[in-house]
Chain A
Amino acid sequence: MAKKIKIKIKVNGKKVQLIKKTSIRSLLNKLKIPIKMVAIELNKKILDKSKIGKIYVQENDKIEIVHFIGGG
């Protein structure tokens, strides 16, 4: 059986390991983050949420997932 290749990325400053060919959409699903309520940045570029099913994470990617919190 072929061994699944793992890659390391950073999500919101935290190290995360994933198998290769994981899309951003499946990463969010895995983290149980409601896509409707967030915005996603991949290596400082904001992603169009309608396309994140076709964007795959790469080694050393830096992903930021943000939402609204209380503020003045």
Chain B
Amino acid sequence: MDNLIIEKKKYKSRLIVGTGKYKNFEECAKAVKISGADIVTVAVRRVNIVDKSKPLLMDYLNPKKINYLPNTAGCFTSEEALRTLRLAREIGGWKLVKLEVLGDKKSLLPDMIETIKSTEVLVKEGFKVMVYCNDDPLMAKRLENSGASAIMPLASPIGSGLGIVNNVNIKIIRKNTKIPLIIDAGIGDAVDAAEAMQLGCDGVLVNTAIANAKKPLLMAEAMKLAVIAGRKSYLSGRISKTIMGKPSSPKKGTI
């Protein structure tokens, strides 16, 4: 089987999905199921101590059946990110986490200096850190050398739907890295997800493109199929590109 392997653990699906922005938890749980993902990202936030009638994520997605990947979404400093992940670990012993330290409120691009600093601290504390980063081959290498468990370069800004804007950099990162390479952020549709896989990435993380699609459940299925198709296509070895045409039928025997 061609599994995604992170820190020696095998996962059936190469698609990781986020659980934010859905209409409700019911739709979110359905989309996750259809997507076939066995890792979902989750955020850490305050419990509402006043209104307890609100439904809980854990009631819809059982953390014993699906792997929760705590994420530091919305953190702008290393301090906030570390605090969030230490709390996440305390909730139920999660060691595999996703680090995201943002640097700019408008573009939501990552602050790579804070990201590297945080990675080093978390690795020392025994966390297995999957790191959201810029599509910069040098920064990706720095993260790998800092002990990251996976590098997660953006395709384009979070929620932008622009797809992979610098596929040359992604190709260079692919060439340079031995740890799992997962495209995170900016995927707009299933074609983008397939492209990421065709470039040789080990997986794709998608949230907005599914949750905000007109038909989220249909898009969840499209993403699942796209990731499988892209992976198989990559493994098959594509043909080389030529400017001129080459006939598909033999010349011999033409009438």
Interface, chain A (partner B; CB < 8 A) = 11-14, 16, 31-33, 36-41, 44, 46-49, 64-72
Contact = CB atoms under 8 A, between A and B. Distances in A.
B68 A33 contact: no
Contacts, number: 101
Contacts of B49: 11-12, 14, 16, 31, 33, 65
Contacts of A69: 42-45, 57
Contacts of A38: 47, 91
Nearest to B17: A72
B171 interface: no
Interface in B28-50: 28, 41-50
A72 B208 contact: yes
B207 interface: yes
A70 B70 CA distance: 10
Nearest to B92: A36
B71 A71 contact: yes
10 nearest CB pairs, A to B = A71-B43, A72-B18, A72-B207, A39-B90, A70-B19, A68-B42, A39-B87, A12-B46, A71-B20, A72-B20
B73 interface: yes
A12 B47 contact: yes
A14 B46 CA distance: 11
B92 A41 contact: no
Nearest to A37: B58
Contact of B43 (A12, A16, A46, A68): A68
Nearest to B46: A12
Contacts of B205: 72
Contact of B22 (A36, A39, A67, A70): A70
Contacts of B63: 68
